[in-house]
Amino acid sequence: MLGTKKITAGGPSKDRARIGQTVAARLDANPRMQPALVGAAQAYYHLDFLNPTQCDTLIRIIDGNRRPSTLLSDRPEREDYGFRTSESCDMDRWSPDVQPIDDSIADLLGLPAVSGETMQGQRYAPGQQFRAHHDFFHENQKYWPEMRRSGGQRTWTAMIYLNDVEEGGATWFPEAGLRVAPRRGLLLAWNNMSADGSPNTLTLHEGMPVVQGVKYIITKWFREGTWLR
Ligand SMILES: O=C(O)CCC(=O)C(=O)O
Ligand SMILES: [Fe+2]
């Protein structure tokens, strides 16, 4: 029941609607950004956003810091189903290897760097996956008061694939009808909010299991307010 899901995830918001419009206008004006979706959600991609040297640097950092990924959910049963089996790490935003990339992503979207959460590095070995989820916060869950204090709702997500994967590992949006295969340097960005600023349930997505090879990505989640204090 889509209607019920919408209500429990959160309601409309003028501020979030405005963020959606201003970021989309900026991306529409950027000749290197291509629309990835029409209708269901605002989504764009940029080929070769990072060069191979930048990708290799981030991969090296992920390999040096990775640990089992965690989930932000009130539903402990998700742990049992192998919901998010990848390994991940926080990428130190003050590191000279990370900061320029962090800033360039914020600049691409036109969002303040301080609204971005700490960049996440993720590594998926064969069989590992991140099952279907929304990046936005469900405002009826226990974690929400804390998330509201730390910058509020997540608006845009930016993801970058750091390598080509031999088989599997696509990012799949089953409800919006989009499947993106990993490609070194490709940045994919989407708005987790609808036009009225409410959470857009059509942004449901999953990191499909890697079949062959290893998949490395970084993810940036942007908040409606200030995350970094
Ligand atoms: O691994 C992927 O393709 C998706 C990752 C993802 O959804 C996330 O980090 O929020
Ligand atoms: Fe996600």
Ligand 1 nearest-atom number relative to CA 208? 3
Q: To test the ligand 1 pocket, which listed residue (190, 206, 210) has its Cβ within 8 A of the most ligand atoms?
A: 206
List beta partners, residue 68.
87
Residue range 11-56, pLDDT digits in tens: 999 999 999 999 999 999 999 999 999 899 999 999 999 999 999 9
Concatenated DSSP letters for 103-122? HHHHHHHT--GGGBPPPEEE
Q: Which amino acid appears at position 187 of this protein?
A: L
User: Is 174's pLDDT higher than 60?
Assistant: yes
State pTM to two decimals. 0.94
Phi, psi for residue 201 in degrees, rounded to 5: -65, -20
Picking from 143, 135, 151, 3, the residue whose alpha carbon sits closest to that of residue 75 is: 143
Buried/exposed 125-152: b ≥16 CB within 10 Å, e otherwise: ebebbbbebbbbbbbeeeebeebeeebb
Environment class of 27 (CB within 10 Å of its CB; exposed 0-12, middle 13-18, buried 19+): buried
Say what percent of the chain tops pLDDT 90.
86
Q: Which amino acid appears at position 26 of this protein?
A: R
Rounded Cα distance between 180 and 149, Å, is: 33
Say what percent of the chain tops pLDDT 70.
93
Q: To test the ligand 1 pocket, which listed residue (219, 220, 221, 222) has its Cβ within 8 A of the most ligand atoms?
A: 219
Residues lining ligand 1, judged by CB closer than 6 Å?
Answer: 130, 135, 171, 205, 207, 217, 219
pLDDT at site 72: 75
Q: Identify which ligand lies nearest to the alpha carbon of 218.
A: 1
Q: What is the crossing angle of helices 14-28 and 99-109, to 10°?
A: 100
User: Is 227's pLDDT higher than 50?
Assistant: yes
Ligand 1 nearest-atom number relative to CA 171? 3
Three-class SS of residue 165?
coil
**Residue 182: C-alpha distances to residues 5, 41, 76, 142, 226 (Å):** 30, 20, 29, 34, 30
Instruction: Count Cα atoms within 13 angstroms, Cβ side, for 101.
Output: 30
Q: Closest Cα to atom 5, ligand 1: which residue? A: 207
| 218 CA to centre of ligand 1 in angstroms | 9
Dihedral of the alpha carbons of 159, 160, 166, 169, in degrees to the nearest 10: -10
Ligand 1 nearest-atom number relative to CA 182? 3
Per the prediction, the chain carries an average pLDDT of 93
| 205 CA to centre of ligand 2 in angstroms | 6
Task: Delineate the domains of the chain, giving CATH numbers in brackets.
Answer: 2-223 (2.60.120.620)
Phi, psi for residue 34 in degrees, rounded to 5: -115, 140
Tokens describing residue 192? 């987790």
Q: What is the ipTM for the molecules in this complex?
A: 0.99
Q: Which of the two residues, 71 and 28, has the higher pLDDT score? A: 28
